[in-house]
Structure 1
Amino acid sequence: MTIGQKMHTTLASLEGAIADFKTFALETQDQNAKQQFSAYAKQLEDITNGLKGRVNYIESQEPTYKQYQQ
């Protein structure tokens, strides 16, 4: 597995975790837990955006890392 593939796999995992935290926030009645899950989702979104920027940079420097999504 290339670094490009690993980074795309990591992005997909992070996006799945974000979705899970958002679901947890929607499903709980506990306001404290709801705020925590929402904060976790926001933190992961920030991390994901940073990683996406890095992936875009790497792909511009080394086109063979580019993953084509259908």
Structure 2
Amino acid sequence: MTEKALMQVHGLSDTESTKRVIESLEAMSGVESVKVSDRGVLAVAYDGSYLTVMDLIRNVRKQGFLASMT
């Protein structure tokens, strides 16, 4: 079942860090797509039977950024 999450990621100040976070999320099993707004909000479509929102947030935090639901 596809779920969608909107996450505010604090500290995405350049293209390289944004790319790193997006690639890290896309590499997770169960993530279907990741889109980012110009305000640092990530829209993530994922398989809710396999992942939780906390799994997504933990992944972003492992990249060195703070993330929260919007």
* TM norm structure 2: 0.30
Which has a greater percent of strand? 2
Does 1 or 2 have the higher relative contact order (CA < 8 Å, sep 6+)? 2
Larger Rg over CA atoms: 1
Give the structure with the higher percent helix: 1
